[in-house]
Amino acid sequence: MTRPWNGTFISAAKPNDEGTPAVYFRKSFVVEPGLRRAVLEITGLGIVEPYVNGGRVGDDVLSPGWTSYRHRLDVASYDVTELLNPGENAVGAIVGEGWASGRIGYEGKRHHYTDRAALYAQLTLEYFDGRTIVTTDTDFRVGTGAVRANSIYDGETYNAAREVRGWSEAGFDDSGWTTASVFEWSLDALQRPVAPPIRRVEELAPVRILTTPGGRTLVDFGQVLTGWVRITVTGEAGRTVTLRHAELLTPEGEPEYETLRTAQATDRYLLEGSGEPETWEPRFTFHGFRYTEVNGWPGELTADDIRAVVVHSDMVRTGWFTTSDERLDRLHENVLWSMRGNFVGVPTDCPQRDERLGWTGDLNAFAPTAAFLYDVRGVLGSWLRDLAAEQQEKGFVPWVVPDVLSHPSAPTALWSDVAVSLPWALYQEYGDLEILRGSYSSMRAFIAQVEGLLDDNGLWSVGYQFGDWLDPDAPADDASGGKTDRHLVASAYLFKTTCELARTALLLGETEDAERFDRLHRRVTKAFHREYVAPSGRLVGESATAYALAIAFGILEGEQRTRAGQRLAELVAKAGYRISTGFAGTPHVADALTQTGHLDAAYLLLTETELPSFLYPVTIGATTIWERWDSVRPDGTLNSTGMTSLNHYALGAVASWLHRVVGGIARTTPGYKSMEIAPRPGGGLTSAHTIHDTVHGRVEVEWRIHQGVLALNVTIPEGTSARVALPLHPDEAVEQISGGQHTWRYAVDTDGPIEFTMDTPLKEIVGHPLTWRKVSAVFKKHLPYPIDGNAPEAAAMSLNLLMTVIPNPPAALEEDLRKVLQR
Catalogue the active-site residues. 355, 627
CB contact at 8 A, 577 and 613: yes
DSSP, collapsed to helix, strand or coil, labels residue 231 as strand
Torsion 404-405-407-409 (CA) sign: negative
E strands within 61-173? 73-74, 76-79, 87-96, 118-127, 130-135, 141-143, 147-151, 155-159
Length of the chain measured in residues? 823
DSSP, collapsed to helix, strand or coil, labels residue 5 as coil
Q: Which long-range contacts (CB under 8 A, 24 or more apart) does 612-616 make?
A: 612/472, 612/578, 612/579, 612/580, 613/577, 613/578, 613/579, 614/331, 614/579, 614/654, 615/327, 615/328, 615/331
User: What DSSP character marks residue 662?
Assistant: I
- CB proximity list for 700: less than 8 A, separation 6 or greater: 689, 690, 691, 692, 713, 714, 715
DSSP, collapsed to helix, strand or coil, labels residue 422 as helix
CB contact at 8 A, 338 and 154: no
- A 10 A CB-CB count for 684 gives 10
Of 649, 652, 618, 638, nearest to 246 by C-alpha is 638
DSSP, collapsed to helix, strand or coil, labels residue 240 as strand
Cα of first residue to Cα of last residue in the chain, in angstroms, is 70
- A 10 A CB-CB count for 130 gives 9
CB contact at 8 A, 809 and 758: no
Beta-bridge mates of residue 307: 230
Of 598, 552, 551, nearest to 572 by C-alpha is 598
Q: What is the 3-state secondary structure (H, E, C) of 582-599?
A: CCCCHHHHHHHHHHCCCH
